[in-house]
Amino acid sequence: MAPPLQPLVHVLADAENPYQVLKWLRRSPAAHLVRRLALSPEALSHEALDALPQRAASAYVRGLLVTAGILAPRDENLALLTNYVTRTVADLPARQANLIRPFAEWHIVRDARRRSLRGRYTYAAYKGDYGNVTAAIDFLNWLDSQSLNLRRLQQLHLDTWATNRPSLRARAIPFLRWGIARHLCPPDLVIDRPDSQLPGNFQAEDDAREELARCLNDAKLPLDVRIAGALVRLYALPLTRIVELTTEHISHDREHTYLKVKQHPFLLPPKLAGLIADQIRCGTPGHSTATEPRHLLPGQSPGRPRNPIGFADTLRHHGLSARAARNTAMLNALTDLPPMIIADLLGIHPKTADRWAALAGNNWSEYVSSRT
């Protein structure tokens, strides 16, 4: 083993089941990639790994190297965005690249870096920024197909594109605003953002209680499914936030266990606290460094959380919806607490909490009067 990779030997040797490690070394594509790196120690960098085809094996190996302390930790969600922008811009025609590069790098990526520094750049945020860049490229491709450019763009053209791209119209708004601010297109253009739709998918109260009881008591369900299902139903947390939870979010006193989502801790019921304690105790060794908090719900790659999209499918496979259950839990919470408190506890925008409160038949006046 090359000297720079020696710490990886200790990580593999510390595994509880050596037979699983032997199986991994013999058959895993990730192990084959480690062999290649052992022959080329100069490739032991994030930049060198970024240059490889981005497959599951390279993500897994990167996690292993970070876990072993060979590579420094980084914000992988931000890295997904920056790598996507770099690869995509390089493949664009020059006339498009001259627009997409400054928009993506100086507007989208720069804002993502700010959020990353505040610890708020999640996988969902990456998907949103990815969609904004994709919509901008699609719009420029459409302009080319119509023999148009931004300076000749008219509202009729914009409306035609937006009508034919209903899934992209809202995502194109950042690019349009960016172009107007830099005088690249006429200043009076606008894409009407569709009105935010209130959720219409809910659970019956009896079903919600029954599923919560399953999460807390059914030992046949996987432990991570039980924990996520209970957090959704008790605290209306979205899966995108649940998968980002780490051991740092869990605290204890002499009698109780708490979960801190934003600023204030939730009191966990004893059964759910016990499930989380079991998950922390039985978590896969090697999925985090000693100095980094460990994800409560680790993904397949070391140091990375579960993918919320795939996790939603897993919950659905076990008969536990995520969206409908969260919608019902949110309505129940707003019947007991003012929307301002919910916004503060869950870290959602006050306007979002207000919309939910209107749906629940609640409003801000109760909170204002209680504070008065």
Residue 329: predicted pLDDT:
87
Residue 344 inside a domain? The answer is: no
Residue 136: predicted pLDDT:
96
Residue 242 inside a domain? The answer is: yes
Structural contact between residues 335 and 356, judged by C-beta atoms closer than 8 angstroms: no
Residue 284: predicted pLDDT:
47
Domain count of the fold of the chain: 3
156 and 249 co-located in one domain: no
Alpha carbon separation from 104 to 34, 95, 119, 131, 322 (Å, rounded)? 33, 15, 21, 11, 32
Instruction: Please tell me the pTM assigned to this model.
Output: 0.74
Report which DSSP code applies to 193.
Answer: P
Residue 105: predicted pLDDT:
95
DSSP 138-180: HHHHHHHHTT--GGG--HHHHHHHHHH-TTTTTTTHHHHHHHH
DSSP 273-299: HHHHHHHHHHSPTTSS-TTSPPBSSB-
177 and 82 co-located in one domain: yes
168 and 142 co-located in one domain: yes
Structural contact between residues 308 and 124, judged by C-beta atoms closer than 8 angstroms: yes
Q: Render the burial of 60-71: b for 16+ CB within 10 Å, e for the rest.
A: bbbbbbbbbebb
Interatomic CA distance for residues 46 and 40, integer angstroms: 14
Residue 332 inside a domain? The answer is: yes
Nearest to 97 by CA among 109, 106, 84, 88: 88
Interatomic CA distance for residues 214 and 216, integer angstroms: 5
210 and 318 co-located in one domain: yes
216 and 291 co-located in one domain: yes
Residue 292: predicted pLDDT:
56
Residue 365 inside a domain? The answer is: no
Residue 369 inside a domain? The answer is: no
Residue 288: predicted pLDDT:
42
Q: Which residues contact 179 (CB under 8 A, 6 or more apart)?
A: 99, 103, 150, 185
209 and 322 co-located in one domain: yes
61 and 110 co-located in one domain: no
96 and 36 co-located in one domain: no
247 and 307 co-located in one domain: yes
Alpha carbon separation from 304 to 63, 64, 77, 276, 332 (Å, rounded)? 7, 10, 10, 18, 32
DSSP 30-46: HHHHHHHHHH-GGG-SH
168 and 226 co-located in one domain: no
294 and 265 co-located in one domain: yes
The last residue of one of the domains, among 165, 181, 197, is: 181
Tokens of 70: 């060979």
Interatomic CA distance for residues 284 and 300, integer angstroms: 10
Residue 67: predicted pLDDT:
82
Domain that includes residue 54, residue range = 3-67
The last residue of one of the domains, among 67, 102, 120, is: 67
Interatomic CA distance for residues 155 and 184, integer angstroms: 14
209 and 328 co-located in one domain: yes
Q: Block means of pLDDT (10 residues each) for the chain, length 372 residues?
A: 79 81 87 83 83 83 86 90 94 94 96 89 90 96 94 92 89 94 92 66 86 93 93 90 88 89 84 92 52 76 83 92 88 79 76 77 55 54
Token pair 């690019």: residue: 175
Residue 223 inside a domain? The answer is: yes
Residue 352 inside a domain? The answer is: no
